[in-house]
Amino acid sequence: MSKNADLAKQFNRAADVMALLDENQFRVLATRKVARALEDLAEPIEAAATEHRLDAIAGIGKSSADKIAEYLRTGHIAEFDSLASQVPPGVLDMLNISTVGVKTAYLLWKEAGITDIPSLKKALDAGTITGIKGFGEKKQANIKQNLAFMETANARIGLGYAYPLACEFVNLLRPIQDIDQVTYCGSLRRGKETVGDLDILLAARSGITAEAISTAVAKVIKTHPEMAEMVAAGDTKITIRTKLGLQVDFRMVPRESWGAALQYFTGSKEHNVRVRQRAADRGMKLNEWGLFRGEQRMAGTAESDIYQALELAYVCPEMREDRGEIELAAAMFQAAMGRQPDVDDPRLDFIGNTIPARWASVEVSDIRGDLHMHTTASDGHESIAAMITAARKRGYQYIAITDHSKSQVQANGLSVDRLMAHAKAIRTTAREFPDITVLVGSEVDILADGSLDYPDEVLRELDWVVASPHSALTQETEAATMRLMRAVSNPLVDVIGHPTGRLISGRRGLEPDMQRVVMAALRSGAALEINAHDMRLDLRDVHARLAVEAGVPLCIDTDAHQLTDFDKLPFGVATARRAWARPENVLNTWPLEKILAWQKKRRQGDADWQ
């Protein structure tokens, strides 16, 4: 994996140090600009360095290029190390707490003598932070709450690191002779937004023991650049730790146990307990080696056979959280067999004899278009034509280009005049691509009171409106709820984008009463977005489930700012699958004609969009 993220962290940390030392503000901003360029870079920084074109990257000058080259060569940047030596390391760590910015950290350091997180926790608990301007009870309570959140969140790793790493290991191991199948399982396969560790499952070919492939697997794993430590290496399990501290377990099983092991190691624990109990109730035993009645193997080679043998419809991995999926699977199996389901649950009312014994979860292949993306007109990195071309290559039938509205100054948000000029440019460019429909849209800020960043007469000129919160993200629950309810009630708003504004493991975002927001969306007929970016996944799964159960359409968008962001779509789809969403629950699986008819009804004040 590339060093882009590591280098971005180095430059961001250096900017923090500079700010704490009251360095020239322009130097601080320039350093952060380099970090942003590294974060957004679509290629490995090593490639640009090898080809001597670091200073050709927008935002990176010769001095920064020299620092990048030094880091790639030595693993350090001497100038940054010298700067960091002037600030206690713990002061920098405090900046990782949401709502603790440079000014707050400086005051805690200089005026309260607090130089690390443990001493901050102690002072907050003791109530000894007094006499510092701006550090009232509410401020301290917020810091304490966000500190607790950070400590919980940082115990897990985000999908942006875990998923590509798991895929790299799978692709690295697949060519090994005598390996029949290999995949990742665990919470990653269930589509959870963060993972505690990685589980890679391997099956030996028929006639080959699991132990026989263990040595070959260990040898190959050692070559991976993220490999930091070989923790244990046994005959059927190898454990390593990556440079980020993520534990990865490689488990080897014989071919005949593949399905049972895949089911077992995918989890969740709660789901597996229910499945094993169902086996026990039927006089069988289920473990990672197979499903047995006494000594007789009943199933185990294929995962679906496990469920079928237990009279359950196949449960897709993302649903395996013991949230009612066992009851659903039993009812679906009974319906498929022509029997009356014996579970009285309103969620199962749709089941009939024609329903297959499998929940028809939405798939990546069901998505017909992406209705939230940005170009260089605001803070995107690609032209209108480049985004359209990338969407066409993915087989999309339609897209919406939705650059930021005027209040997003830091994102180069568009004034009304710039928006109108941009709309004209989109329509002109779109004529060059007659095989895809390009909607002219905007991601319009939802202001703190729920009003929108553009007046209605401007919104009426657009084909598509995404309304999103970007500021005032620490509002109290009631204010946040009323804010989103007001925005969603506007018939010109098609979808509420990333409704809470959270950043996973970084920012809690708004915490509205989502049930009320969903009901407001139901009344207005608007859609709610699942933002597929791995740092957002907002709506989160439990909130998306509320929408699905209420009949509010979801819209799975990538919020793409560069071409590689389109690759994040599977994260959003996985979140929708965790919410039990079927294709019909997701607006951008619909044909464009249905979307436009839905939109027309809403704008005419008819919320009966179904």
Q: Give tens-digit pLDDT for 476-517.
A: 889 999 999 999 999 999 999 999 999 998 888 998 989 999
pLDDT tier, 2 (very low <50, low <70, confident <90, very high otherwise): low
Query: pLDDT at residue 587 above 60?
Result: yes
Contact predicate 280/264, CB 8 Å? no
pLDDT at 47: 78
How many angstroms separate the CA atoms of 245 and 165, rounded? 13
- How many residues are recorded in the chain? 610
Query: pLDDT at residue 154 above 60?
Result: no
pLDDT tier, 102 (very low <50, low <70, confident <90, very high otherwise): confident
Superfamily grouping for domain 364-603: Metal-dependent hydrolases (3.20.20.140)
The stretch 451-467 carries a mean pLDDT of: 97
**Prediction pTM value:** 0.78
Could you tell me where in the chain the CATH 1.10.150.110 domains are found? 4-153
Token output for 585 = 């629950």
Which amino acid would we find at residue 78? A
316-366 pLDDT, tens per residue? 999 999 888 999 999 888 888 877 776 655 545 444 444 445 678 999 999
Dihedral sign computed on CA atoms, order 369, 391, 531, 317: positive
How many angstroms separate the CA atoms of 179 and 257, rounded? 13
Query: Which comes out higher in pLDDT, residue 152 or 377?
Result: 377
Q: Quick check: bond before 268 cis, omega within 30?
A: yes
pLDDT tier, 608 (very low <50, low <70, confident <90, very high otherwise): very low
How many angstroms separate the CA atoms of 84 and 196, rounded? 30
Superfamily grouping for domain 158-318: Beta Polymerase, domain 2 (3.30.460.10)
Contact predicate 83/131, CB 8 Å? no
How many angstroms separate the CA atoms of 3 and 574, rounded? 27
Superfamily grouping for domain 4-153: DNA polymerase beta, N-terminal domain-like (1.10.150.110)
Could you tell me where in the chain the CATH 3.30.460.10 domains are found? 158-318
Widest pairwise Cα distance in the chain: 76
Contact predicate 94/117, CB 8 Å? yes
Enumerate the β-bridge partners of residue 296.
Answer: 293
pLDDT at 350: 45
CA 570 to chain centroid = 9
- Of the listed ranges 40-44, 225-229, 298-302, the one predicted with least confidence: 40-44
H-type alpha helices, 243-324: 258-266, 269-281, 303-309
pLDDT at 610: 39
Share of residues in the chain with pLDDT > 70 (%): 94
The stretch 29-52 carries a mean pLDDT of: 82
pLDDT, the chain, mean: 90
Could you tell me where in the chain the CATH 3.20.20.140 domains are found? 364-603
Query: Which comes out higher in pLDDT, residue 268 or 343?
Result: 268
Q: Pairing between strand 398-404 and 437-445?
A: parallel
What residues have CB less than 8 Å from 428, skipping those under 6 apart? Answer: none
* Strands of the 369-370 sheet, one edge to the other: 369-370, 398-404, 437-445, 464-468, 495-496, 527-531, 554-557
